[in-house]
Amino acid sequence: MRHVATVIFAGSYVTLAKSQQNHHVIQAESAMKAITITLALMACYITPAWSESEFQINCPGRPAMTVSRADYGLSTLMWPSRHFQVAAGQQRTRLKEGDKVSITRFRNGDQLIVNKNSGETFFVYAGSDKLMPCSRTEKRDAEIISLERYDDRQHPSS
């Protein structure tokens, strides 16, 4: 009996040792998961925001306009005094001669057309079919600005 008890005791000891070893492995795996999740969350804060660029265009019939483009596809068009339009994405196509052209269609019907091969910039005003040649500044990174809160209740006419 004593021999059997020793075997059982030895078997229990081995089982207990394996159980403790598995417990340490599970703890290590949990710690690695926690570290991985923490690093992934930290990476979200470290990653830079979407970049944005802007340029100005001068076209006959309207004051100088500022075009801003975000990497995620949003384009904005601003001109004095307090005019602001948005567009989602750009249509990319080719002319019959093979030149690549991008067309940005703003919500009010205005269209910005850029010949990617020559760099020429054109504008078509809403309600018109006339292609207006425009001069353009170089594209540059846009400054990040903080917008002030706007309360509609204080401006009944808006």
Instruction: Note the pLDDT tens digit of each residue in 30-84.
Output: 767 777 776 665 655 544 445 588 999 999 999 999 999 988 889 999 999 889 9
Kindly report each contact of residues 24-29 with a partner whose C-beta sits within 8 Å and lies 24 or more positions away, as own/partner: none
112 pLDDT band, cuts 50/70/90, is very high
| Cα separations in angstroms, 108 against 27, 67, 87 | 60, 15, 9
Q: Which of 81, 128, 124 is nearest to 106 (CA)?
A: 124
6 pLDDT band, cuts 50/70/90, is very low
Instruction: Compare 11 and 41 and report the one with higher pLDDT.
Output: 41
Instruction: Compare 154 and 64 and report the one with higher pLDDT.
Output: 64
Examine the pLDDT at 21 and tell me if it is beyond 60: no
Alpha helix (H) residue ranges in 56-145: none
Mean pLDDT of the chain: 78
pLDDT at 33: 76
Question: How confident is the model over 21-30, as a mean pLDDT?
Answer: 63
CA dist 8 and 88 (Å) reads 74
Examine the pLDDT at 15 and tell me if it is beyond 70: no
Instruction: Compare 8 and 22 and report the one with higher pLDDT.
Output: 22
Instruction: Compare 41 and 100 and report the one with higher pLDDT.
Output: 100
